């Protein structure tokens, strides 16, 4: 830490997938793991003078351990903006496609109707703006489409994946 600070830098840890630190096997209650992560674990990191950026699910916001951390340590809560049109959602998938080095555009991977279907799901009652659920549905549709030898992910593939994931596809619900 001294070496980092000697260069007038401040260390920051970014937790972009807090679930990775709180997963349990066999459907065990995650509450103690989540409480431990947002309690002693992150508290210790901050105590070392390390900054934290943590992406969290809305369900964590109600946990006592998270609320204590937010009051005692976190300086700000920045909600993710909601996507409100297919091109915005397309840009998210464009970044994900770039990150794996495919050299493809969302239009090469998804039909226009598929992106609209994803947006409808994202804004609908079952998914309720949960970006992780939306991406999970897209990933499942990708796997199913590739397995079936399809060139693109279609709205039908999104609907099938949504149904398999427990979300209801179509007309925003």
pLDDT (mean) for 17-34: 73
Q: Total structural domains in the chain?
A: 2
Q: Is residue 133 part of a domain?
A: yes
7, part of any domain: yes
One domain for residues 108 and 44: no
Is residue 77 included in any domain, yes or no?
Answer: no
The whole-angstrom separation of Cα 169 and Cα 173 is: 6
**Do 66 and 11 belong together in one domain?**
yes
CATH number of the domain encompassing residue 92: 1.10.8
Name the pTM for this structure: 0.65
Give the range of the structural domain holding residue 14, as residue numbers without chain letter: 2-72
H-type helices in the chain, by residue range?
A: 2-6, 31-36, 42-47, 64-72, 86-99, 106-109, 112-123, 131-147, 155-164
Q: Is the pLDDT of residue 138 over 80?
A: yes
* Whether residues 138 and 90 fall in one domain: yes
């Amino acid at each position: 830490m001294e070496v980092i600070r000697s260069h007038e830098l401040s260390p920051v840890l970014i937790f972009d997938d807090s679930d990775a630190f709180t997963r349990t096997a066999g459907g065990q209650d995650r509450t103690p793991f989540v409480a431990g992560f947002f309690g002693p674990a992150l508290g210790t990191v901050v105590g070392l003078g390390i900054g934290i950026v943590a992406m969290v699910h809305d369900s964590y916001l109600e946990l006592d351990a998270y609320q204590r951390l937010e009051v005692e340590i976190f300086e700000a809560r920045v909600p993710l903006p909601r996507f409100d049109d297919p091109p915005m959602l397309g840009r998210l998938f464009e970044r994900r496609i770039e990150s794996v080095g495919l050299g493809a555009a969302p239009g090469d991977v998804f039909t226009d109707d598929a992106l609209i279907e994803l947006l409808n799901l994202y804004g609908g009652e079952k998914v309720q703006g949960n970006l992780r659920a939306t991406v999970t549905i897209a990933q499942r549709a990708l796997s199913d489409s590739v397995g079936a030898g399809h060139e693109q992910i279609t709205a039908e593939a999104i609907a099938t994946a949504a149904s398999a994931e427990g979300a209801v596809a179509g007309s925003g619900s």
